[in-house]
Amino acid sequence: MSSTAIGTERPSAVTARDLARATATRTRRSAHVKLWAGAVCTALVVVPVALANVLPLPGANAQDLSRRRLPPLSEGHLFGTDQLGRDLLSRILHGGQVSLTVGVLAVLVSGLIGIAAGAAAGFFGGWVDALVSRFLEAQLALPLLMMLLLVVALFGPSVTVITCVIAVAQWPEVARLTRSLVLVEREKPYVAAARVLGLRAWQVLLRHVIPNVVRPASLVVLLLLAQAVLLESALSFLGAGPQRPFATWGRIISDGQAYITTSWWLVTLPGLVIALLVVGVNLLGDGLRDRTRRRKGAGA
Amino acid sequence: MPIYLARRLGQSLLTVFLTLTTVFLLVRLAPGDPAAAYAPPFASSADLARIRAEFGLDDPLFTQYGIFLRDLFTGNLGTSYSFHAPAFDVVMDRMPYTVTLAVAALAVTTLVAVPLGVWMARRADTKRELGANVMTIAGQSMPDFWTGVMLLTVFAVLFPVLPASGFTTWSGLVLPTITVAVLQLALVSRLVRREMVSALTSPYVTVARSRGVSERALTWRYALGNSGVPLLTALGTRFAALLNGVVVVEVVFGWPGVGSLVVRALETRDYPLIQATVLVTATLAILVQLLVDLAYPLLDPRVRLGKAA
């Protein structure tokens, strides 16, 4: 659009072709490609998972011992069946509902904790900052996965427990980012103005500062969602994942591991589904981040 | 400098101590009885009670904690229930394997990710760079246990060129290392790319170029040299994370490291062993981070330790 304007309205040495090859255009294009590819990959997994109850599939836990370990594309079983004759596609989709619920809830909880703690640390400074920063540092040094396994052993592998455990594992990232954003925001004139107008510190923080940092902070959330899905599947793989109502992805893979030499699909297909989803979410998050960074760069 | 070091060490000690206390409480609050895992099958409840008394598990929690602290300060971490050996020694027996895997994975990551990141920075925003970017993201997105199982299937089962599990020959190191490194590639290469892009567009590079410094020296000495601090920070954090994070990969490959030890210790409720593992890994991770911080002034003379903003 702007390229034709320059090309026709005034004489310029910059041709439309130069513009198309310019770094800014290429950055925009690669962000665009990432966004689209990410959206497609994510949708390929999320839409069938969301529709799992509507699609004409055999029950996820319905066993048929006469039809064990059928290869993919056999009649009525697109992804084949497992060692107990259960339809693999149905298991993946229903398990995916649990995995995705855990992931989304975990990210919401960790986002809330992270933004609250990070904003308080950045805004109030002093002992609040010292406390939060110590926590952040300590968590870096902790044997994280071990602690998670321990807590799951303590409270049992229910969806609630695993959600909380993943949220606790992830809040530092959000907190660290929010803290650094608030540190910048705190020095801006509008904060001083709000103070002069007589607002209390926490009112300034809640009504004025946090709304300004929520958008950039929420960008990491997509990247965290990818990590949450991976973490949940790792926990399930180690046997500390939710068992009911359906086995989640990590569990399906660890169950299929014993049959890897004879029935490759039991491990390969669920893994591909996880990878597809996580790639999609990562690309989406990356593309969004590139786009905001460019806007910020253009505005400055 | 000595004051800085003392303060950092004090903080680290406090972190380790609080971690240990948390773990001590968590394992004892968790359901599951170490005596049941330790006793022979069909043991009578009198036997179980005897075992509990022997381990001091029938004391009140505070008494147990007091004994734990007293032993800790005398350097005694207790005897592992399942190995019948000092817990610290059991962990230290396994530690070299985990460290070997972590170091190997980190070395491979660095050797691949740094040149890759530099290459991506030189060709920033081209189609090929986008392709490389997507490839590393894909590597980061695969669950590590799945990558491990897949590599195992291809290179140890279908084409048996590498050992499937354990660490008997050095070739056993290859598959676990690749599995861990694939996960780290995206993070490190993107960091290098970001640092290099901003370094290559900064004024000092323009000045150096105008003075006839070769592109190669510009890239590798000037720009990469100035990316040293963030790169080292990232690698240090990665190493600390790897020490704790290779649990899953160790389980997949039957690697005789601390990770598989932890999973077993958790299953058998081997309290002293769990505590010893936490102590050793947390201490090592904190030490590495401290060393990284101490190395900053070597890489960047502008950094003054202890006077951080």
Mutation site for B-interface testing, chosen from A32, A36, A139, A150 by largest number of B Cβ within 10 Å: A150
Mutation site for B-interface testing, chosen from A44, A145, A223 by largest number of B Cβ within 10 Å: A145
* Cβ pairs bridging A and B (under 8 Å): 143
Q: B214-217: which pairs have CB atoms within 8 A and are 24 or more residues apart?
A: none
Q: A121-128: which pairs have CB atoms within 8 A and are 24 or more residues apart?
A: A121/A175, A121/A179, A121/A182, A122/A178, A122/A179, A122/A180, A122/A181, A122/A182, A122/A183, A122/A185, A122/A186, A123/A182, A123/A186, A123/A201, A123/A204, A123/A205, A123/A209, A124/A201
Distance CA B291, CA A84 (A): 53
CA B97-B163-B139 angle, to 5 degrees, is: 75
The answer to whether the CB atoms of A33 and B130 lie below 8 A apart is yes
Task: State residue B232's pLDDT score.
Answer: 85
Task: State residue B107's pLDDT score.
Answer: 93
Structural contact between residues A242 and A98, judged by C-beta atoms closer than 8 angstroms: yes
Task: State residue A104's pLDDT score.
Answer: 92
Q: Which two tokens stand for residue A86?
A: 């259960």
Distance CA B188, CA B194 (A): 10
Cβ–Cβ contact A134 with B under 8 A:
yes
Query: Does the pLDDT of residue A296 top 70, yes or no?
Result: no
Paired with A77 in beta bridges are A74
Average pLDDT over residues A43-47: 88
Distance CA B17, CA B72 (A): 10
Distance CA B285, CA A137 (A): 11
Q: Domain A30-60+74-298 carries which CATH code?
A: 1.10.3720.10
Contacts of B124 in chain A (CB under 8 A): 23
Higher pLDDT, B75 or A77: B75
Q: A74-78, A195-199, B107-111: lowest mean pLDDT where? A: A74-78
Distance CA B221, CA A70 (A): 58
Q: Running DSSP on this structure, what letter comes out for residue B172?
A: G
Query: Does the pLDDT of residue A235 top 60, yes or no?
Result: yes
Average pLDDT over residues A107-136: 88
Q: Which two tokens stand for residue A36?
A: 């689209």
Domain boundaries, given as residue ranges, for chain B: 1-74, 99-271
Task: State residue A109's pLDDT score.
Answer: 93
The answer to whether the CB atoms of A238 and B263 lie below 8 A apart is yes
Mark out the alpha helices in A78-143 (DSSP H runs). 88-124, 126-141
Task: State residue B116's pLDDT score.
Answer: 92
3-state secondary structure of B138: helix
CA distance, residue A279 to nearest chain B CA (Å): 5
Task: State residue A72's pLDDT score.
Answer: 73
- Using the structure block, give the residue that is written with the tokens 């070997």: B100
**To the nearest whole number, what is the mean pLDDT of chain A?**
80
Task: State residue A294's pLDDT score.
Answer: 60
ipTM of the prediction: 0.80
Task: State residue A219's pLDDT score.
Answer: 78
Distance CA B223, CA B219 (A): 5
Q: Which residue of A has its CA nearest to B151?
A: A268
Query: Does the pLDDT of residue A3 top 60, yes or no?
Result: no
Q: Thinking of the domain B99-271, which architecture would CATH place it in?
A: Orthogonal Bundle (1.10)
**Residues with Cβ < 8 Å from A281, sequence gap 6 or more?**
A38, A42, A222, A223, A225, A226, A229
Count the neighbouring beta carbons within 10 Å of the beta carbon of residue A110: 26
| Residue B168 main-chain phi, psi, to 5 deg | -105, -35
Higher pLDDT, A247 or A278: A278
Task: State residue A298's pLDDT score.
Answer: 44
Q: Which of B126, B134, B282 sits opposite A141 (nearest CB)?
A: B282
CA distance, residue B151 to nearest chain A CA (Å): 11
Between the alpha carbon of residue B43 and those of residues B28, B35, B51, B264, the distances in Å are 22, 10, 10, 21
pLDDT, averaged per 10 consecutive residues of chain B (309 residues), comes to 82 82 83 74 79 79 85 82 86 89 92 91 81 85 88 82 73 87 87 87 88 86 83 84 80 86 83 87 84 80 61
> Which residue from A183, A182, A274, A172 is spatially nearest to A220, judged by alpha carbons?
A172
Q: Which of A33, A153, A274 sits opposite B146 (nearest CB)?
A: A274
Q: B18-24: which pairs have CB atoms within 8 A and are 24 or more residues apart?
A: B18/A138, B19/A138, B19/A141, B19/A142, B19/B278, B19/B282, B20/B72, B20/B275, B20/B278, B20/B279, B20/B282, B21/B65, B22/A147, B23/A147, B23/A150, B23/B274, B23/B275, B23/B278, B24/B65, B24/B68, B24/B275
pLDDT tier for residue A297 given thresholds of 50, 70 and 90: very low
User: Helix B144-152 crosses helix A265-299 at what angle (to 10 degrees)?
Assistant: 130
Domain boundaries, given as residue ranges, for chain A: 30-60+74-298
Task: State residue B306's pLDDT score.
Answer: 58
Query: Does the pLDDT of residue A83 top 50, yes or no?
Result: yes
Mark out the alpha helices in chain B (DSSP H runs). 2-29, 34-38, 45-55, 61-73, 87-122, 127-141, 144-152, 174-200, 203-210, 215-217, 224-226, 228-245, 247-253, 258-267, 271-299
The pTM for the full model equals 0.82
Structural contact between residues A137 and B15, judged by C-beta atoms closer than 8 angstroms: yes
Task: State residue B74's pLDDT score.
Answer: 81
Task: State residue A299's pLDDT score.
Answer: 37
Tens digit of each residue's pLDDT (9 = 90 or more) over A11-27: 677 777 777 777 777 77
Between the alpha carbon of residue A255 and those of residues A237, B27, B158, the distances in Å are 8, 27, 20
The answer to whether the CB atoms of A141 and B157 lie below 8 A apart is no
Q: Which residue of B has its CA nearest to A26?
A: B125
Higher pLDDT, B156 or A85: B156
Contacts of B243 in chain A (CB under 8 A): 143
Q: Which two tokens stand for residue A106?
A: 């975990």
Q: Which two tokens stand for residue B129?
A: 């760079």
Contacts of B134 in chain A (CB under 8 A): 34, 37, 283
Q: Running DSSP on this structure, what letter comes out for residue A72?
A: T
Contacts of B165 in chain A (CB under 8 A): none
Task: State residue B305's pLDDT score.
Answer: 66
